Chains A and B, each alone.
Chain A
């Protein structure tokens, strides 16, 4: 019993939290390569609607996804706070457009609970769980799933 508690207690992970349509989300900091300001992108004809375009990241061409469109949320305004989170999953880079990036936060595994039914406005497929942080709730996203879906494979 005691041993089990020790094993779970130490599972603390760092997350980058960001806002999307007034809700707070978090992604594993280990997947995040960098965060840049929004800049104008080059559109790719005939690409899925959630692919906003490509950007020049120090000489590399990196596709950028609009997370709002990806999750079926209403389109948002691009303003000073808009950021692109560049994630790197298995060597593949992808930019994710978010409304704003708020902070880097430590979350213990005992703060995380599975997704309650009807708990979030986006598809459960992309969600790892919900985290309670004091009085707020944060949706933890599964970056691999967001990047590896069928629509993307066709890109």
Chain B
């Protein structure tokens, strides 16, 4: 079968996104603590993997660029080059360019743009080389340092302990190859194969068994649990061009204290026997050499997960929803049967088994919902960078605090929530948090604090963006709203404060004094609101002058099942998402007023709410005569309310949202469909579209 790169491109995109994410996190960690070599290695790993994968799918420019990054990082790592601000900036710029390269792959790029990226890439390659050229003179590699010793983390140590307690012998083996031998990785793999016939390889570094791209240059090390003798092990390692094999029997080693924990003990720790070729015990320097001792913990975790197309999970959830609906129907029939024929005989057993089945279905549905859940931290992490860039650009000092990153939410929601959150965070840094001078003047710490917190609240998830800035200026919002012609002077003075705050979500509203390149263009908060509405969520603002502002977003845990109010209009049944229904009313026909040119309205407390007769707008074939009693469901979208006139309120229940079938596009006022317990199809009304119709927007 021929190799078709297209099959792998989707996978490449997904992988690259992950690698970029890791690179980003590592960069930020590096900036926080330049002395730590772990982040540098993480960046190296990400660049290394992207180099190979992009070459595989034919994106040679990405491969070339990541190759340079990899080279430079390897050099810095090996030469212990100091991580200066310059290095970090260059790496950040490289990261940005890489991101741009990736995001533009799908598009039909213009020639000019291609050239620009190419030029930037050349420039950065030069810069990367030049920052790497800074090398401290005092570092000289110890020539004996050839093979790194194995680092042991908790998991590995426990694993070794298990084998030791089971009575196996444990050997640590270092294999040194002759210089510049071809196919070192293959030889290493061969040795591992031989070893597996003797026992179990517990740790292998670099991991030639799991990672075919593992960098094996000078040699590799592994820890073997076996019942064979030491000489068998040594024989197994004798493949061609092996310079030296060092085996250490570590079965008796009391505690696995290894060089990275306590460097001094290393040499005396275990009896050593060295092959006659060369006697060269590893020195302390050797163990410190970071050249190939990559921490591969993440890779291990990843092998326990499976990538699944979200469409498949959608289908599973859909089917589970179907079962839930059917469960209700089956239970009902079972109970009827038992009531009629008594529940002593088979009917009783049937009913029992139906109850059992019902519980299993509930668990099944929950399990499937859970499988779609991902920690919200995935999105949160990226804001470190956003805040870093923003605060640098605005000369503000901002500390981003993340809370509840482990809170889980439906994948679909995660995918769309990133952009609105970015906007809100930008808004808080731009408009909320004051400049250092202002903060000092008002007696606050120089560094502003921005908190991004997530938590569960019943069937909802709450995400809060809170700053300790100057708070929203109500007077200024009112003034601006009048200036922009959104409200008249009298109208705005009658609005309660809560509603004044909501004005900032209206299209075309912005209170920024200075228009910055990022926020303050008057688009954004309205888009934030719309996105959240579309997800069936809500957003609230709390603000205190001088103390700060908190935006609280409430979102449903999942999008597939909603709570709905079923109503009847013109003898047809429709579903209204409960999230959109603010209240239901029963009025009489003389409480409806007609406003010239604006249609019918009702009074609701202080205000006036326009109404829409559902049977008319949906053109139902049957219309009920308007009688004295009228039912109204008040629905809300954004801060607009409309009363929907219905014939009857049926009930409230959970429904599974389904698309309208073959032709995905929504039809008129219909947002989707669902199937009720009796098998009939019910349509879900698109409240936003109905409100637009009523208000003539």
Contact = CB atoms under 8 A, between A and B. Distances in A.
Contact of A61 (B618, B621, B668, B675): B675
Contacts of B681: 41-42, 53-56, 61
Interface string B616-644: 01111100000000000000000000000
Interface in A28-84: 40-47, 53-56, 59-63
A63 B668 contact: no
A154 B665 contact: yes
Given A46-B619, A155-B665, 7 more contacts: A45-B617, A45-B667, A46-B669, A47-B667, A56-B679, A61-B660, A92-B663
Nearest to B672: A61
B659 interface: yes
Interface string A137-155: 0000000000100001111
A44 B658 contact: no
B663 A63 contact: yes
A50 B425 CA distance: 50
Contacts of B669: 45-46
A56 B670 CA distance: 17
Contacts of A40: 680
Given A54-B673, A59-B318, A61-B675, A42 B663 contact: no
Given A47-B668, A59-B318, A42 B680 contact: yes
Contact of A43 (B322, B572, B662, B663): B572
Given A44-B683, A45-B670, A47-B668, A59 B675 contact: yes
Interface residues of B, number: 27
Nearest to B323: A59
B667 to A, nearest CB: 5
Contacts of A94: 661-662
B659 A61 contact: yes
A62 B663 CA distance: 9
Contacts of A46: 618-619, 667-670
Nearest to B321: A59
A93 interface: yes
A63 B658 CA distance: 13
A62 B670 contact: no
A55 to B, nearest CB: 7
B319 interface: yes
Contacts of A152: 663
B284 interface: no
Given A45-B618, A153-B663, A60 B658 contact: yes
B667 A61 contact: no
Contacts of B679: 56
A89 to B, nearest CB: 9
Contacts of B683: 42, 44-45, 54
Interface string B552-581: 000000000000000000001000000000
Contacts of A59: 318-319, 322, 675
A154 B668 CA distance: 10
Contact of B661 (A43, A63, A153, A154): A63
A44 B670 contact: yes
Given A42-B681, A44-B667, A63 B318 contact: no
A6 B428 CA distance: 77
27 contacts: A41-B681, A42-B673, A42-B683, A43-B621, A45-B617, A45-B670, A46-B619, A46-B667, A47-B667, A54-B661, A54-B673, A54-B683, A55-B681, A56-B681, A60-B661, A61-B661, A61-B675, A62-B662, A63-B661, A92-B661, A92-B662, A92-B663, A93-B661, A93-B662, A152-B663, A155-B665, A155-B667
A78 B25 CA distance: 65
B274 interface: no
Interface of B: 318-319, 322, 572, 617-621, 658-663, 665, 667-670, 673, 675, 679-683
Nearest to A92: B662
Contacts of A155: 663, 665, 667
A61 B663 contact: no
Interface of A: 40-47, 53-56, 59-63, 92-94, 147, 152-155
Contacts of A61: 658-661, 673, 675, 681
A150 to B, nearest CB: 12
A56 B667 contact: no
Contacts of A60: 658, 661
Nearest to B658: A61
Nearest to B318: A59
Contacts of B620: 43, 45
B672 to A, nearest CB: 9
B572 to A, nearest CB: 7
Closest 10 CB pairs of A and B: A46-B668, A92-B662, A45-B618, A42-B681, A59-B322, A155-B663, A61-B673, A61-B661, A62-B661, A63-B661
A54 B660 contact: yes
A55 B661 CA distance: 10
Nearest to A152: B663
A55 B658 CA distance: 12
A43 B572 CA distance: 9
A88 to B, nearest CB: 9
Contacts of B318: 59
A63 B670 contact: no
A59 B617 CA distance: 28
Contacts of B572: 42-43
A53 B621 CA distance: 13
A135 to B, nearest CB: 37
A47 B619 CA distance: 11
A47 B618 CA distance: 10
A40 B572 CA distance: 12
B83 to A, nearest CB: 53
Contact of A63 (B618, B660, B675): B660
Q: Find the residue from A45, A60, A154 having the highest chain B CB count within 10 A.
A: A45
Contact of B680 (A44, A56, A93, A147): A56
Contacts of A153: 663, 665
